[in-house]
Amino acid sequence: MRDVVNFYVRRDTDPGLWYPKSATGSRKSDDLPEQHQSAVNESEVPYDRMPGETPALTPAEIDDVVAFLKTLDDGYN
């Protein structure tokens, strides 16, 4: 779960961690069909960051989000 939250927090600030690189840089959202790429949220926090900027959440805040998400359990496995 931490990997998922980390992806969404850092996908825009360090896309090279997640997406392949080309001559023009990382191909962000490379894993989506072209017709769906416009649906990628890039305008709201934490998705509004640019490469090289500081991620919207610190590692400790990511841990806090993950801890909260783990409380959302209905008891079924």
Residue of 8, 71, 72 whose CA lies nearest to 40: 8
Instruction: Put residue 72 in one of left, alpha, beta given phi > 0 → left and psi -120 to 50 → alpha.
Output: beta
Q: What is the mean pLDDT of the chain?
A: 84
Task: Give the pLDDT band (50/70/90) at residue 27.
Answer: low
pLDDT tens, 39-68? 888 788 777 888 899 998 999 999 999 999
The pLDDT, as a whole number, for residue 65 is: 96
pTM of the model: 0.70
Give residue limits of the domains in the chain: 2-71
Distance (Å, whole) CA 7 – CA 44: 15
The pLDDT, as a whole number, for residue 21 is: 76
pLDDT > 70 fraction of the chain, expressed in percent and rounded: 88
